[in-house]
Structure 1
């Protein structure tokens, strides 16, 4: 079977915002929020996933503090250093035991090749999700955030994210979600970021954009 080319990360939002603005309600959100920075793929998918996991359910400040302590303890955040460090030491950086288990499982998967982080960027979205889901502590939401913010995939909208579901329902209360998301394709990542930003404007909060 011929492999379908992956969508390239966006280098500009001009075409995407023009398409999304065909939805007059989202056009209003875009006008209110203004320009958002263009996402670029990470050069270090492994390290980015570790940082994502260690920062989950924490404030930006707390997540940065824990990652700084983790880096200070390990010297370099890699599969080798994570596997060579005891759980107690990792716990001492501020990680919960559940996160200790997750980061060590990610490191083991990278070490054994169960997940080939160097080639994740070559896989389609659903393949990346399937690669990551067997890891303990990694659910579909985490995998979708990784696709959006680490791999800069342009067409991801996580219905597992409560804020996105609520924002979608607030903007389009009388239209089925599937219909709205179909209209927003193939730029649903940028649409999600505008929904997060509009949620923050309406209700306050710090959803990532």
Structure 2
């Protein structure tokens, strides 16, 4: 028996989401094509930036990131470890975040943390591995799956902003996880549109 072609199999993420969710369709028209994955593969740098931005506004995080980058020139483990924790703190990082980034750098250099190994893991498996790193909780791990590994189907349950956007767009009683089901297999892309909505 010949298997019928899935009519959605060649849809772009935007086409799939527009067909699945009328509310999201309006955001896609407003903001255009998603540019979430138009970036270089840099898992280490992405995770460092995620740690820096924890519990900070985007503006403050960008300022501190710029100061740290001025010290190290480039986000790579060897460069980070050359900068004492006290100098990282002078750039605006907390003592805890400075230690987290140093520990991450040490684990990358000695091989205890190999980002390439995560590609074969499920989202939950990868989150569990990442959460073993000091200073990396669920939100940081979820952001890393999206921005570091470029995974297109992550529903960041630890992101308060996404939950707020769902309440604003779908009603106060809307359940985040239930709304997110209709976005599969492009939940990361849907999230990008919700972040754009909040930023606007």
Q: Same fold (TM over 0.5)?
A: yes
Return the alpha-carbon distance in structure 2 between the equivalents of residues 166 and 74 of structure 1.
36
Match of 1:92 in 2: 90
Matches within 5 A, 1:41-60: 42-60=40-58
Return the alpha-carbon distance in structure 2 between the equivalents of residues 44 and 176 of structure 1.
33
Question: 1:57-107: CA deviations, max 9, x gaps?
Answer: 445554344334333333443323333432112212221112101101211
Matches within 5 A, 1:71-86: 71-86=69-84
Match of 1:4 in 2: none
Return 108-117 or 186-195, whichever deviates more.
108-117
Return the alpha-carbon distance in structure 1 between the equivalents of residues 115 and 57 of structure 2.
27
Match of 1:125 in 2: 123
SS at structure 2 position matched to 1:21: helix
Unaligned runs of 5+ in 1: 1-12, 202-209
SS at structure 1 position matched to 2:182: helix
Return the alpha-carbon distance in structure 1 between the equivalents of residues 72 and 199 of structure 2.
35
Return the alpha-carbon distance in structure 1 between the equivalents of residues 199 and 59 of structure 2.
18
Match of 1:21 in 2: 18
State TM-score, norm by structure 2: 0.80
Match of 1:194 in 2: 193
Return the alpha-carbon distance in structure 2 between the equivalents of residues 166 and 63 of structure 1.
21
Match of 2:159 in 1: 161
SS at structure 1 position matched to 2:157: coil
- RMSD of the alignment, in Å? 2.5
Return the alpha-carbon distance in structure 2 between the equivalents of residues 76 and 194 of structure 1.
30
Question: 1:118-142: CA deviations, max 9, x gaps?
Answer: 4334433222211210122211111
SS at structure 1 position matched to 2:195: helix
Contact 2:142 2:156 in 1 (8 A): yes
Contact 1:106 1:135 in 2 (8 A): yes
Match of 1:177 in 2: 176
Contact 1:42 1:150 in 2 (8 A): no
Contact 1:42 1:48 in 2 (8 A): no
Unaligned runs of 5+ in 2: 1-9
Change (3 A) 1:53 1:42: farther
Change (3 A) 1:62 1:14: farther
Deviation at 1:148, TM superposition (A): 1.0
